[in-house]
Amino acid sequence: MASNREREELHKAIWSIADDLRGSVDGWDFKQYILGIMFYRYISENITNYINDGERKAGDTTFDYAKLNDSEAELERENLVKEKGFFIRPSELFCNVIKAAKSDSTTFVDVEGKTKNVKDNLNEYLEMVFNNIESSAKGAESEDNFAGLFDDIDVNSNKLGSTVTKRNEKLIKILDGIASINLGNYQDNNIDAFGDAYEFLMSMYASNAGKSGGEFYTPQEVSELLTRLAIVGKTTVNKIYDPACGSGSLLLKAAKILGKDNVRNGFFGQEINLTTYNLCRINMFLHDIDYDKFDIACEDTLITPMHWDDEPFEVIVSNPPYSIKWVGEDNAVLINDPRYSPAGVLAPKSNADYAFIMHSLSWLATNGVASIVCFPGILYRGRAEQKIRKYLVDNNFVDCIIQLPDNLFFGTSITTCIMVLKKGKKDNGVLFIDASKECVKAGNNNKLTEKNIEDIVKIFENRVDVEYTANLVSNKEIEENDYNLSVSTYVEQEDTREHIDIDVLNKEIEEIVKRGQELRDEINKIISEIEV
């Protein structure tokens, strides 16, 4: 894990690259280039170190894969794809591409068989290198994890420059900037510097991009709270799942808190947005999650769910999009979908929130916990959503509802809540927690501190009433309240208004009136003396 000093240096270097390119590749789009090139550097160094370690242990202490001839390296292609999931020729490693981009003599053969100078055609060369890396995994178990991984790094985009020369100038600046970052020594297990860089970029651009950025990113403090709620009492779990995984921050926060080796069968997720799906897979690699330890799918979770045949998940953490539209009852087949049919009704077409919740419940193991960020409206709205709440409460699946502070997320000031689901509860009630004041101000947003998180988790774990903060409510009482799950319905607000003693107030008013009369008398006396 990078030290605070190293992390500060890392953030400074990334900001410098962004600042250098400001005005051309700006804002949210820029992250795709810097993260993609950083990923390219990572896998280049990862495979180089892996091969070098093996050769040096075998006795060749001076071996360096980066200096090997491509034809010699090709002899080990098949074995490396089996072991690492991909293959990169020595000439196409990150370090060698930078050298080639600054040399007048280095050439390559393009897809049409023409020989070209790398320096003058860097964009074409990088595109070819990226295609070669993706193609190396074709036919292997890792194929799905590498397919289209570099699609969002458009080396021919006009955002990089209006001419090939200008685009190549920007590309070499990005390559040099990424090369200058101290990403730590792999052998010292300092690889999380890549993860730190990723998180800094995501938060940096999410905060500047408003809603468009925030929808890709769940703040780390919220991710930590969701994870800690879901793993209470667990030291190991079978798998972790996020049905709307975005860039993967929730999955990786779980890996960090539990320890990735304590997640026996890996990390699973589904994401509908292609760009974000690619970012999620890159994020897995940047956090040293091997290709055989994650399975991220790019499909609409609500309509085309993946992982149907998998063992149910012990931990589900998710921050699905709030109140988005979906096909709902317009698709006559969905009411018979085993994920939705138990409730007897589908989530409204205008608000898909409960579709995500029912999906998560269906994928949850009997000993599992799902913690899901929700829009508060789903806790009290009527009609179909009320019927789904009835199903959840009557079957004792709702474990806890937590009201969070407002303004926690980038790009929106709305208040959110967390719904915790369990299939194996020990009581017939729901714990309601008002954590709306558990935060500190951080710029334009509120932020959960470590103490805030600790306090919320402790209340969740103890599962007892806390005056003005928590209330364990029976399912029967919730039924009597028409299945309203709003925290404010069950947790009394502390009256912080100043209480006034009426007798004292009347006496003060009497004194004020008396003094007022005295002043008027004095003024009248002065006026009469002036007139005389």
Average pLDDT value over all residues in the chain: 86
**What pLDDT is stored for residue 523 in this prediction?**
83
Q: What average pLDDT does the segment 485-512 reach?
A: 80
Q: Would you kindly state where each structural domain of the chain is located, as residue ranges? A: 4-209, 211-490, 503-532
**What pLDDT is stored for residue 183 in this prediction?**
66
Tell me: pLDDT of 469 over 70. Answer: yes
Hey, do 4-209 and 211-490 end up sharing a CATH topology, with the first three levels equal? no
**What pLDDT is stored for residue 215 in this prediction?**
46
Alpha-carbon distance of 285 to 106, in angstroms, equals 30
Note the pLDDT tens digit of each residue in 454-466.
999 999 999 999 9
Give the SS3 label for residue 58.
coil
Ramachandran angles phi, psi of 439, nearest 5°: -165, 170
Note the pLDDT tens digit of each residue in 353-393.
999 999 999 999 999 999 999 999 999 999 999 999 999 99
Q: Which CATH superfamily is domain 211-490 in?
A: Vaccinia Virus protein VP39 (3.40.50.150)
Q: What average pLDDT does the segment 3-22 reach?
A: 72
Tell me whether strands 267-270 and 240-242 are parallel, antiparallel or unpaired: parallel
**What pLDDT is stored for residue 412 in this prediction?**
63
**What pLDDT is stored for residue 299 in this prediction?**
94
Q: Give the amino acid at 62.
A: T
Q: Which of 484, 491, 489, 323 is nearest to 390 (CA)?
A: 484
User: In the structure, what pLDDT confidence band is assigned to residue 191 with cuts at 50, 70 and 90?
Assistant: very low
Structure tokens at 489: 């319905």
Note the pLDDT tens digit of each residue in 281-296.
988 887 888 899 999 9
Q: Give the amino acid at 128.
A: M
Class of domain 4-209: mainly alpha
Note the pLDDT tens digit of each residue in 239-266.
999 999 988 889 999 998 999 999 999 9
CA angle 310, 315, 317 (to 5 degrees): 110
Q: What average pLDDT does the segment 127-137 reach?
A: 96
Alpha-carbon distance of 91 to 74, in angstroms, equals 12
Alpha-carbon distance of 490 to 241, in angstroms, equals 31
Q: Which of 195, 238, 244 is nearest to 216 (CA)?
A: 244
**What pLDDT is stored for residue 288 in this prediction?**
81
As to burial, measured by CB atoms within 10 angstroms (0-12 exposed, 13-18 middle, 19+ buried), residue 214 is middle
Residues 6+ apart with CB under 8 A from 415: 376, 403, 404, 405, 406, 436
DSSP 479-527: HHTTT---HHHHSPPP--SPP--HHHHHHHHHHHHHHHHHHHHHHHHHH
Greater confidence, 100 or 186? 100
CB count, 10 Å around CB of 276? 21
Residues 6+ apart with CB under 8 A from 148: 134, 274, 278
Q: Give the lowest-confidence range in 103-112, 280-289, 401-410, 502-511.
A: 502-511
Report which listed range, 23-32, 186-195, 202-211, 463-472, is most confident: 463-472
Alpha-carbon distance of 299 to 129, in angstroms, equals 27
Tell me: pLDDT of 478 over 60. Answer: yes
What's this model's pTM, rounded to 2 decimal places?
0.81
DSSP H or E stretch at residue 201 = helix 192-209
**What pLDDT is stored for residue 27 in this prediction?**
52
Alpha-carbon distance of 270 to 277, in angstroms, equals 8
User: In the structure, what pLDDT confidence band is assigned to residue 21 with cuts at 50, 70 and 90?
Assistant: low
Q: 190-208 b/e with 16+ CB inside 10 Å = b? A: bbbbbbbbbbebbbbbbbe
Residues 6+ apart with CB under 8 A from 175: 37, 94, 97, 98, 101
**What pLDDT is stored for residue 2 in this prediction?**
45
Q: What average pLDDT does the segment 470-486 reach?
A: 96
Residues 6+ apart with CB under 8 A from 49: 186, 187
- State the maximum Cα–Cα separation within the chain, in Å, rounded to a whole number: 121
Structure tokens at 189: 């297990």
User: In the structure, what pLDDT confidence band is assigned to residue 297 with cuts at 50, 70 and 90?
Assistant: very high
Alpha-carbon distance of 40 to 68, in angstroms, equals 19
Tell me: pLDDT of 415 over 60. Answer: yes
**What pLDDT is stored for residue 206 in this prediction?**
57
Q: What average pLDDT does the segment 516-523 reach?
A: 81
Alpha-carbon distance of 482 to 460, in angstroms, equals 24
Q: What average pLDDT does the segment 62-80 reach?
A: 94
User: In the structure, what pLDDT confidence band is assigned to residue 212 with cuts at 50, 70 and 90?
Assistant: very low
Greater confidence, 186 or 32? 32
